[in-house]
């Protein structure tokens, strides 16, 4: 057995580096309109920033619920035992309200890609000390509590998000479902996520630490988290409790029997914050970077049409008349981000469909012409035979006349 080289200590070292500099942590909420995204942000802030020193800068912008119309960024600083976290919360306008929801997710996807791009550009600058970082570390996707299933629009958007960010699906307004309905709904969503190959965030299982592994297991089993948001507090036995009041009783936000709010808050702000930050950098940012810089060889040498042109430029004909590659020819580099790849695929699909439709039309037209020619030929034959009969008759008459 070789001597251990201390690799096991790496996670701690990274933790120390981050804690020295402080960390930036960005959460994004998105989903259909009116599902309680803004309310959730307010609930999370009010429940997490109670002891925040400066109440003036505390997030209480939206006291009344109203439709969010723009991407809205709220910043706060959390400080605990000299560990400073710059927290950004990104609220997005609800989508899915329109008759045509095609591409309604574009502003959100663009926002995520733009942050990766901005960060990458800053990394390429000579001075890289003070970087602005708004890369999204956790994206909470709000699912309508229908009790049935995920909509095609949800699947489409979640697929796109899951290749770019740590995606955390949550069931919005879960107080509108009974515990039984909620359990069935959760398991259906989990099945669809698996069947559709949507890559959601999974807390890592630290096998060396049974307590933390158990916590991660519980978090994984609770996905998608059922959430209740509320900005109101009610007095129960002299204690103020945040919740939603119904004639039959109070649904409590911070009660594990009623919803998963506390579990999600713990995942985001305590147990998994570091993992969310590191995995964003190591998985999502890296894959964006490699696609963007064209280091992905299969991509850059891909089967795309425009490479034909590049190949021509890189090839020369030698004295034997054979086509060979120029010795100095560089590998073609393609600059594009995943967003453009999707657009390209959509355009290709559209183009193929158009060509197919035109071909179909052309074939129909050709068939019509052949039919018409046959009909005319037949008419012509009939006319000719009529003419022949008439000529015969003329001949007969002429003979009679003589
Ligand atoms: N029953 C129930 N209602 C909720 C919950 N969270 C929010 N609401 C209500 O839902 C309505 C919409 O809430 P918002 O927070 O404005 O929803 P939003 O997702 O930000 O909406 P857009 O900005 O339009 O996308 C408000 O009347 C909230 O009081 C919840 O957990 N349960
Ligand atoms: Mg809103």
Contact between 265 and 47 under an 8 Å Cβ cutoff? The reply is yes
What's the gap in Å between 90 CA and the centre of ligand 2?
Answer: 10
Q: Which of 28, 30, 36 to mutate to test the pocket of ligand 1 (most atoms within 8 A of CB)?
A: 36
**Domain check: are 90 and 205 in the same one?**
yes
The per-residue pLDDT for 47 is 65
What's the gap in Å between 96 CA and the centre of ligand 2?
Answer: 13
**Domain check: are 32 and 156 in the same one?**
yes
Give pLDDT tens digits for 45-90. 776 654 433 444 444 444 445 677 778 888 888 776 667 788 888 9
What residues does 201 pair with on adjacent strands? none
Nearest residue by C-alpha to atom 29 in ligand 1: 65
CA distances from 33 to 97, 227, 244, 399 (A): 7, 16, 20, 96
State the closest ligand 1 atom to the C-alpha of 229, by its place in the atom list counted from 1: 31
185 within domain boundaries = yes
Name the residue among 175, 202, 177, 201 with its Cα closest to residue 188: 177
Contact between 50 and 64 under an 8 Å Cβ cutoff? The reply is no
Name the residue among 179, 174, 177 with its Cα closest to residue 243: 174
Alpha carbons 162 and 184: distance in angstroms, whole number: 23
Alpha carbons 45 and 110: distance in angstroms, whole number: 26
What's the gap in Å between 161 CA and the centre of ligand 2?
Answer: 19
Give pLDDT tens digits for 247-289. 888 888 888 888 999 999 888 888 888 889 889 988 899 889 8
Residue that terminates a domain, selected from 248, 278, 293: 293
What's the gap in Å between 60 CA and the centre of ligand 2?
Answer: 13
Per the structure, the count of domains in the chain is: 2
Q: Which domain holds residue 224?
A: 12-293
Contact between 136 and 162 under an 8 Å Cβ cutoff? The reply is no
Confidence of residue 212 (pLDDT cuts 50, 70, 90): confident
| Cβ-based neighbours of 350, under 8 Å, separated by 6 or more | none
What's the gap in Å between 155 CA and the centre of ligand 1?
Answer: 22
What residues are in contact with ligand 1 under a 6 Å CB criterion? Answer: 33-39, 65, 67-68, 93-94, 173, 175-176, 228-229, 244
More confident residue, 300 or 29: 29
Q: Is the overall model pTM greater than 0.75, yes or no? A: no
**Domain check: are 184 and 116 in the same one?**
yes
Distance of CA 17 to the CA centre of its chain: 31
**Domain check: are 380 and 270 in the same one?**
no
pLDDT of residue 373 exceeding 50: yes
Confidence of residue 302 (pLDDT cuts 50, 70, 90): very low
Confidence of residue 334 (pLDDT cuts 50, 70, 90): very low
Q: Give the pair of three-digit tokens for residue 35.
A: 């599902």
**Domain check: are 254 and 158 in the same one?**
yes
Ligand nearest to the CA of 33: 1
Ligand nearest to the CA of 97: 1
Q: Give the pair of three-digit tokens for residue 369.
A: 């012409």
More confident residue, 46 or 376: 376
CA distances from 314 to 67, 293, 326, 330 (A): 55, 20, 6, 8
**Domain check: are 273 and 194 in the same one?**
yes
302 within domain boundaries = no
Ligand nearest to the CA of 41: 1
Segment holding 234, helix H or strand E: strand 233-236
Average pLDDT, the chain: 79
- Domain with residue 250: its CATH number is 3.40.50.300
Alpha carbons 383 and 375: distance in angstroms, whole number: 12
Confidence of residue 338 (pLDDT cuts 50, 70, 90): low
The per-residue pLDDT for 205 is 84
Give pLDDT tens digits for 173-186. 999 998 899 999 99
| Cβ-based neighbours of 139, under 8 Å, separated by 6 or more | 27, 28, 29, 30, 112, 161, 165, 166, 167, 168
**Domain check: are 285 and 354 in the same one?**
no
């Amino acid at each position: 057995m070789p001597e251990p080289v201390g690799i096991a200590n790496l996670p701690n070292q990274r933790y120390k580096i981050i804690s020295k500099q402080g960390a930036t942590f960005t959460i994004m909420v998105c989903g259909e309109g009116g599902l309680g995204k803004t309310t959730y942000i307010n609930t999370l802030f009010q429940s997490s920033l109670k002891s925040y020193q400066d109440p003036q800068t505390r997030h209480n912008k939206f006291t009344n619920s109203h439709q969010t119309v723009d991407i809205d960024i709220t910043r706060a600083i959390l400080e605990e035992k000299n560990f400073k976290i710059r927290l950004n919360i990104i609220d997005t306008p609800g989508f899915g309200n329109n008759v045509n929801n095609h591409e309604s997710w574009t502003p959100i996807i663009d926002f995520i890609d733009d942050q990766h791009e901005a960060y990458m550009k800053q990394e390429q600058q000579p001075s890289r000390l003070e970087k602005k970082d708004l890369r999204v570390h956790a994206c909470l996707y709000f699912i309508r509590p229908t009790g049935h299933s995920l909509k095609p629009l949800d699947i489409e958007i979640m697929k796109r998000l899951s290749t770019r960010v740590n995606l955390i699906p949550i069931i919005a307004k879960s107080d509108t479902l009974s515990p039984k309905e909620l359990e069935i709904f959760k398991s259906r969503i989990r099945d669809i996520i698996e069947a559709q190959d949507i890559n959601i965030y999974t807390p890592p299982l630290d096998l060396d630490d049974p307590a933390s592994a158990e916590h991660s297991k519980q978090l994984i089993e609770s996905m998608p988290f059922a959430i209740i948001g509320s900005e109101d507090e009610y007095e129960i036995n002299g204690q103020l409790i945040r919740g939603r009041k119904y004639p039959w009783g109070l649904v409590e936000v911070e009660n594990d029997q009623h919803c998963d709010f506390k579990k999600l808050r713990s995942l985001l702000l305590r147990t998994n914050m570091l993992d969310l930050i590191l995995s964003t950098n190591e998985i999502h940012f890296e894959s964006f970077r490699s696609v963007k810089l064209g280091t992905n060889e299969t991509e850059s040498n891909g089967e795309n049409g425009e490479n034909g042109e590049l190949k021509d430029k890189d090839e020369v004909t030698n004295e034997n008349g054979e086509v060979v590659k120029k010795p100095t020819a560089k590998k073609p580099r393609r600059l594009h981000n995943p967003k453009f790849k999707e657009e390209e695929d959509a355009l290709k699909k559209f183009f193929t469909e158009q060509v197919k439709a035109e071909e179909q039309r052309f074939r129909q037209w050709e068939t019509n012409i052949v039919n018409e020619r046959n009909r005319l030929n037949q008419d012509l034959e009939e006319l000719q035979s009529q003419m022949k009969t008439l000529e015969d008759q003329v001949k007969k008459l002429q003979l009679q006349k003589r």
